[in-house]
Amino acid sequence: MLQTSTVPASPGVLAQPAFARAIDRLSQLSVDGYYNPYRSFDWPDAIDADSWWMSPELLSVSGTEAGAELDEDTLRRLAKWESINFYSLNVHGIRELLQAVIARLHEPGYEVASKFFHHFVGEENDHMWFFAEFCMRYAGKLYPDRQVRIETATDPAIENFLTFARITIFEEIVDFYNTAMGSDERLDPAIRKINHVHHVDESRHIAFGRKLMVLLHDELRAKGDEALLDKVSEYLRRYMTASVRGFYSPDVYRDAGIAEPLALRRRLMADPARAAFDAKVLRRTTDFMTATGILRPVREAA
Amino acid sequence: MTDLTPAADAEARILDWLLARNPELQAIPDDMDLIENRVIDSLDFMEFVFLLEEVTGRSNLLDGVSVDAFRSLAAIRSTFLAG
């Protein structure tokens, strides 16, 4: 879940020359790669119901005992609905991150970042459109947002850091799936294309988000509060776990005709194969956050 | 086998789930604000709703319900477990 806030960044935190140069480079890449999403996709009239709509290795049942009990027809139905769930998660996640970024456009402290924020907002709006378009054209619906926002007041520096950390984590998780599906020849060309296009744009957004995350974390670090840094790290670990759990959807299992969808979900989440897969999805993110000191070793309670 | 009624059994499972996630708590009073006291937070919420769906046998519990329905054990009982 992503939350919105309008708190300013501390003056100077994002005014470093290296960050400004990166913003210029990323902004130029956005200009050079500009495309009209409304003209860029050849939407087929239908997508073969018997084809794989999602790479079978990416299904939430992949590698599990419970998955091995499902026949191929069920797995293909599941692939269709898991793909719709994936794009729905994208739509809801993008809507949330747009609110967070728009709230900061031209706010004090974000003068340098704002230049790229405009590209970011435009591109994310395009992504939200084509993911929603896919769902509505081929499934007639989006899955509803299952996240519940509980607002809690917090320090502006913490809120700013966590906002961009959540955005970047969300984008990195999504990119794992986009990268795999963007080049999977078993998938319909329309499916490959939306995943590939998203991956290309997201590579810039992730580069931007990582730089922002590190600078904002430096601001937190400057407070010299080790317990706070541990707490932030622990929150991000929990956030990553909660995020990947969105891929285990009882609504999807129900639509795929699977009996007792909540029991299946519980069984899958207890399967060691899924813990290994989820760790793989998150590895690039956890490696980066560990290397930069954002994720800290888990300390045992005294 | 349990001698509990279905509603009492559901409530016991809810209480166990909450206590397991909050080992510092010995008990959860009926009227304790679960959100203000951070017994449940945003990151737990989806899992908590799925638990409620499982113990009540009802799906899409979030539809048309405000977060206040989840605010205390008393509210959960009257909104989701009663009759």
Asked if the model's pLDDT at residue A2 lies above 50, the reply is: no
CA distance B83 to chain A (A): 22
Q: Which residues of B touch A152 (CB under 8 A)?
A: 41
B contact set with A (CB within 8 A): 35, 41-47, 49-50, 53-54, 59, 62-63, 67
pLDDT reading at A299 higher than 80: no
**Closest CB to A150 among B50, B54, B67:** B67
Average pLDDT of every residue of chain B: 89
Least confident segment among A50-59, A143-152, A241-250: A143-152
Whether the per-residue pLDDT at A141 is higher than 90: the answer is: yes
Per-residue pLDDT at A1? 45
Instruction: Kindly tell me the burial class for residue A48, based on how many C-beta atoms sit within 10 Å of its own C-beta (0-12, 13-18, 19 or more).
Output: exposed
For residue B83, count CB atoms less than 10 angstroms from its CB and return exposed for 0-12, middle for 13-18, buried for 19 or more: exposed
Q: Which residues on chain A place their C-beta less than 8 Å from a C-beta of chain B?
A: 1, 3, 144, 146-150, 152, 235, 238-239, 241-242, 245-246, 250-251, 254, 262-263, 265-266
Is B50 close to A262, i.e. CB distance below 8 A?
A: yes
pLDDT band at B1; cut points 50, 70, 90 = very low
Task: Give the closest-approach CA distance of A31 to chain B in angstroms.
Answer: 37
> In this predicted structure, what is the pLDDT of residue A153?
62
Is residue A138's pLDDT more than 70? yes
Q: B46 and A265: CB-CB below 8 Å?
A: no
Lowest mean pLDDT, pick from A93-107, A167-181, B61-75:
B61-75
Q: What whole-number distance in Å separates Cα of residue B77 and Cα of residue B55?
A: 12
CA distance A89 to chain B (A): 14
Do residue B35 and residue A150 have CB atoms under 8 angstroms apart? yes
A150, A250, A254: residue with CB nearest B41: A150
